[in-house]
Structure 1
């Protein structure tokens, strides 16, 4: 059963966080409009597309800076409680600091559940609209820029592998194509071509400088042609997935997509795993940042609320900085994505326990 103090603090927690979102999201929109308005006018972007973009931008922006908004809102209203000596009065009444934290933890739970659901279902759709608008209208119809179209390797079945060095989505042509077929871990045949082109009308592929080598028991069989039309099981579009595709998928679709790309030997698998693990790590950060914010701002300081806000802003941006650094590290290196994604939470979790211990004293 919530006490009057619990309801009072919980109400302030949720209202201040909501007001922080309502304050900073419009500022973000204004800054974004000022940066892109010339490009929008130049490309004659329809008003409906712009309106839809900024709806998606609101969700995308709020989710991206969610830890900072939450952290600063708690610092703000808890510092006011401390400056008004309300916290001293609460603790002097016999309530322990741990008990004082209860409404904050309840608030963090509500925010985390909301962030989890939004991250699973709403953010993917908003990310798709946000990214598509940018590449459609703001980056010169850059469809090639948003595709992983170089050195693409795929496993298309349990014993078949294909490779292309590069792919052009407009001409639907790939270069330096090769396909290998295995049987019981032994190479059965290999097909290679300098170019492979998809023929939309015939639903076939044209291979240029075609070569095929069948591996025999004693002799290999070689076949070659300047051009050969044939049919394959795969689609060239599958070879070049959109780089940000993982951000646009719901949780269920994302897990299926990752399993499919892992089986194909995708070079972007770490990028997709980072997106998946962050769906869990960001909501958990709400608890960690809540404890840090309360521990930092619950004591009355000589500099007042300004000192607490300065410390809060420094810690919040340090968290976001670490989150970005380790996210890129997981995508570009051999570091296990799940460890890299959770390191900021682990480090700040240790800091939260340290600050909480001092705050109790």
Structure 2
């Protein structure tokens, strides 16, 4: 069982964790609410009920996304308090190593990792359909965002950042066409796409890259003002309410990978789900040395907590970049899913080994 020392640290951590969770979730909800303020005003008397349902369905998603960051920030606050009060120094003078002091920290991270996994596996999928339907029918204003579709007829993948159902216009379009051997044939990046009918889209301000059958790039880069692209992806297909794969459980993602093996986003999400379970440990390995491990850094309270926030920001930014590269086929999905964890984990282990224990 836990010793008196472990109980002392856990009693300090648990209230701090929930306080940080409420603050970060509250900030996220307020920002999201301000972005949707126009839609809520248009709803009139239904706005309150719709808002309550929407954020109730969304809250498990927020928790899953920010659990590792909240764990690091809360642990950083607790360790900062212990360090400022010289309690960590007193423990070390009593012969307790920093590794032993930090043991309950990592036990908590294991519990948080399991809690995060359970949230994604059982809670989020339960409300996924209701959340997605409410999101697309009440707030998108006939706008679909971040769509990824597989045009099997033309052996191409289309990623559309924003699609207007009324105008039938796509914004920020990326198209990856492939040879029969699955190698890249060409890629198209367009600022806009407009439906012409007869299975054709008119793309504007296009950048085209061409590849040979071995997947090697063929110079030069082609810049085209407008280009007609033939596709079986029609406005009707783009306008359908689709369940976001990121809301699916692990088993559902596994089945989706089998039914759509050529869609790199599914494979990326599947492997990201596995790598994400290590995020708590990775962030702690980086954050703890910056909070208590280096004497020069440990003198400034705001610097230490600020560094924890900065670490989280850099990690999530790198994850976002790798996800985009993996989704568009520029990076292998497995590598895209694991690269942030590998990079931050390696640096974290180095920092942890350099600590003054």
Q: Same fold (TM over 0.5)?
A: yes
Pairing 1:86–2:87 present:
yes
Q: CA deviation at 1:308?
A: 0.5
Pairing 1:259–2:249 present:
no
Cα shift readout 1:211-259 (whole Å, capped 9, x = no counterpart): xxxxxxxxxxxxxxxxxxxxxxxxxx99997665312322222211220
Cα shift readout 1:69-126 (whole Å, capped 9, x = no counterpart): 2221111110111111111111111122222221111000000000111111223345
CA distance in structure 1 between the partners assigned to 2:29 and 2:350 by the alignment: 37
Q: Which residue is 2:275 aligned to?
A: 281
Considering only aligned residues, what root-mean-square deviation do their CA atoms show, in Å?
3.4
Structure 1 stretch displaced more, 325-334 or 31-40? 31-40
CA distance in structure 2 between the partners assigned to 1:43 and 1:272 by the alignment: 35
CA distance in structure 2 between the partners assigned to 1:340 and 1:147 by the alignment: 19
Q: Which has the higher contact order (CA 8 A, sep 6+)?
A: 1
CA distance in structure 1 between the partners assigned to 2:13 and 2:105 by the alignment: 7
Q: CA deviation at 1:344?
A: 1.0
Cα shift readout 1:175-207 (whole Å, capped 9, x = no counterpart): xxxxxxxxxxxxxxxxxxx67xxxxxxxxxxxx
SS at match of 1:65: helix
Q: Which residue is 1:152 aligned to?
A: 151
Change (3 A) 1:307 1:46: closer
Question: Tell me, which stretches of 5 or more residues in structure 2 are unaligned?
Answer: 159-163, 167-197, 200-235
Q: Which residue is 1:351 aligned to?
A: 347
Q: Which residue is 2:225 aligned to?
A: none
Structure 1 stretch displaced more, 302-311 or 122-131? 122-131
Alignment of 1:66-215 (within 5 A): 66-142=67-143, 148=148, 152-153=151-152
Structure 1 stretch displaced more, 240-249 or 317-326? 240-249
Question: Tell me, which stretches of 5 or more residues in structure 1 are unaligned?
Answer: 155-160, 171-193, 196-236
Pairing 1:337–2:336 present:
no
Matched pairs, number: 286
User: Do the aligned partners of 1:75 and 1:294 also contact (CA within 8 Å) in 2?
Assistant: yes
User: Do the aligned partners of 2:17 and 2:71 also contact (CA within 8 Å) in 1?
Assistant: yes
Q: CA deviation at 1:68?
A: 2.2
Q: CA deviation at 1:138?
A: 2.0
Cα shift readout 1:331-361 (whole Å, capped 9, x = no counterpart): 1124221211111111111121111112145
Q: Which residue is 1:294 aligned to?
A: 288
User: Do the aligned partners of 1:17 and 1:74 also contact (CA within 8 Å) in 2?
Assistant: yes
- Pick the structure with greater CA Rg: 1
Q: Which residue is 2:57 aligned to?
A: 56
Q: CA deviation at 1:163?
A: 9.4
Per the normalisation by structure 1, the TM-score is 0.69
CA distance in structure 2 between the partners assigned to 1:297 and 1:81 by the alignment: 11
Structure 1 stretch displaced more, 301-310 or 277-286? 301-310
User: Do the aligned partners of 1:152 and 1:240 also contact (CA within 8 Å) in 2?
Assistant: no
Structure 1 stretch displaced more, 242-251 or 18-27? 242-251
Change (3 A) 1:302 1:122: closer
CA distance in structure 1 between the partners assigned to 2:331 and 2:13 by the alignment: 37
